[in-house]
């Protein structure tokens, strides 16, 4: 019987130095190959998204068994050896060089969910014991319940790196393994099992950070008011390389509120903010990594309607990424 099908979407704290990103990708591919040789399992690097303003890269790995686990362990070792947390200056918040290491079950069933949690436990132990990087658990527990105070990355990073370190040392944040203090150059890794997430950004056509932050605050799922969107987490950021600002979102419940609705809402709010004669528009929409086909189809339609280009990988379909996975065994 094939091992359960899992996805991992590690976020690493380098996006400007492409030589480092390429070297890490090469290490990941070599790890996948070694793992596949051990048990005949399979995995693929389905996407690699690099961003110079965020100084961050997001990799998407899909696979089964030892090939996926070995690829992710190779990734962890490469990040710790090749990246210095204090050398990056991206606009995206971070607490570690391997900042987030999520695992997603792509099939239904208790066995698949158990396999996802077992993989997180293995990776957390590898980070903590082998690499001396504290691995902090986030997202869902084994019963599928969000962890109190660590249900998503924003809750874990609350207060910034120094506060996170204090919360780790005090036991407020649950460690899978690792020392009390952050690694001196690699920091902390946020590691856990979560549901499918769509990472989606909307660029405004003005260099107005206040506007981006205002829109982000209004569309968050936790916001008061009619503009709040369910399952949406959002930040307003400035992209110096393009002299624009960005509403950067994580979409936790894409079936309920997908990127198309986020784009339409941001465009409407931007127009309202520019209602005094200084027009604010949307210059681009961006998918980070892969997304389910159902979310992509509606987003393409919304982009066409608004006349907004969609920035994405050559094939941003999560479904297509699964189909390119080699046969198991």
pLDDT tens-digit series, residues 9-52:
999 999 999 999 999 999 999 999 999 998 889 999 999 999 99
Whole-number Å distance between alpha carbons of 12 and 34: 22
Q: What is the pTM of this model?
A: 0.95
CATH dotted code for 198-320: 3.30.70.670
Picking from 214, 198, 313, 307, the residue whose alpha carbon sits closest to that of residue 266 is: 214
Query: Percent of the chain scored above 70 by pLDDT?
Result: 98
- Give the model's pLDDT for residue 321: 87
Give pLDDT tens digits for 61-75: 999 999 999 999 999
Residue 277 has pLDDT above 80, yes or no: no
Angle at 250 between CA 246 and CA 256, to 5 degrees: 120
As a dihedral over the C-alpha atoms of residue 166, residue 170, residue 174, residue 178, rounded to 10 degrees, the angle is: 80
Residue 136 DSSP symbol: E
Picking from 225, 303, 213, 214, the residue whose alpha carbon sits closest to that of residue 258 is: 303
Angle at 28 between CA 241 and CA 323, to 5 degrees: 90
Domain ranges, ordered by start, for the chain: 6-195, 198-320
Give pLDDT tens digits for 287-320: 999 999 999 999 999 999 999 999 999 999 999 9
Fold for 6-195, please state it: Formiminotransferase-cyclodeaminase; Chain B, domain 1 (3.30.990)
Residue 327 has pLDDT above 80, yes or no: no
What residue has token string 């099992």?
193
């Amino acid at each position: 019987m094939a091992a359960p099908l899992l996805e991992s979407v590690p976020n690493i704290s380098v996006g400007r130095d492409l030589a480092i990103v390429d070297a890490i990708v090469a290490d990941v591919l070599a790890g996948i190959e070694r793992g596949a040789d051990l048990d005949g399992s399979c995995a693929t690097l389905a996407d690699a998204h690099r961003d110079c303003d965020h100084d961050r890269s997001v990799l998407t790995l899909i696979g089964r068994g030892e090939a996926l686990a070995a690829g992710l362990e190779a990734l962890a070792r490469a990040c710790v050896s090749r990246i210095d947390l204090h050398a990056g200056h991206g606009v995206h918040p971070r607490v570690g060089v391997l900042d987030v290491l999520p695992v997603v079950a792509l099939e239904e069933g208790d066995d698949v969910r158990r396999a996802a949690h077992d993989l997180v436990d293995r990776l957390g132990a590898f980070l903590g014991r082998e690499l001396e990087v504290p691995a902090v658990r986030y997202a869902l527990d084994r019963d599928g319940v969000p962890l109190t105070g660590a249900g998503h990355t924003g809750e874990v990073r609350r207060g910034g790196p120094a506060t996170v370190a204090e919360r780790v040392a005090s036991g407020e944040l649950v460690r899978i393994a690792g020392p009390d203090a952050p690694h001196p150059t690699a920091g902390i890794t946020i590691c856990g099992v979560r549901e499918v997430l769509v990472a989606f950004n909307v660029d405004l056509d003005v260099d107005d950070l206040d506007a981006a932050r205002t829109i982000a605050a209004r569309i968050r799922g936790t916001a008061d008011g009619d503009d709040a969107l369910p399952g949406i987490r959002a930040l307003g950021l400035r992209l110096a390389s393009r002299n624009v600002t960005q509403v950067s979102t994580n979409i936790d419940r894409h079936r309920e509120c997908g990127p198309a609705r986020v784009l339409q809402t941001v465009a409407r709010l931007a127009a309202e903010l520019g209602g005094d004669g200084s027009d604010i528009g949307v210059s681009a929409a961006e998918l980070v990594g892969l997304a389910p086909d159902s979310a992509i189809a509606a987003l393409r339609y919304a982009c066409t309607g608004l006349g907004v280009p969609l920035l994405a990988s050559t094939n941003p379909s999560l479904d297509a990424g699964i189909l390119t996975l080699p046969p198991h065994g």
